[in-house]
Structure 1
């Protein structure tokens, strides 16, 4: 499903609150820094409100946030829509039994993990992160949640880097983003 463009005056404020840092963490990268968005109370609230408006009343029972910046946006959205928040973490960060899903990086692999029993069969899940680039982390999150029988309703990100074609890797899973970097 194609990405939807949000036509809302709040988007301009959110976009302008995101700082772009050239050559970080290495030359040639334009880093999308959301810390400046978090410092702008109105823009940060507008971002949360736009997500809540989209997902309120959609019978979502779980908001799954991808480490680490998905932890910033996920909990307030979950509370506002009456869903539980489940963190999806890097390896060895969660205590107790976990299930994991490996995914490819440019050089090597990584994993994300979730507590066993945090999400149940039939639950409707929204996956949230700050940014989609190549789509590897979101794909791993989808696989992890579907392995336990959850229905991934949609993936949501504040920012998309469309030139990296990450949404193409999501297959038929819908992606909703607030800001496109193009």
Structure 2
């Protein structure tokens, strides 16, 4: 097993960036959970985003939590269920030849779940050894994307003009 990340690690700033990314993703997932309040199946999607929000918050404040059995089991269960739903939604999008996925509710659901699964997989075993440049660079890119995309869609109202009303009223 590798050494743990502490103040003596070669690049402690990577550790700070990693934790910051997890705090930001926790905030993003919490916001994504909140905006589901108007959705017809709100409870399902609030859990779908709420679980990663809590898991990311834990990493943001205690990075070695990813090596605990409860954290890993909850993350693995979430990734497993998300992967099954991603597969079903992806098949539906493919079968119906949908190309503008953000204009379809299934496409937004697919993208959101894909983001949670990828993020939790990126976090897996991150507390085992000092986080490296590749993991942190990937984390920064993934962290920036949903915030920029959300802002872009929020500013460009014509892009969301065909969305159902429950998607337009939360924020």
Same-fold call, TM cutoff 0.5 = no
Q: Which has the higher strand share?
A: 1
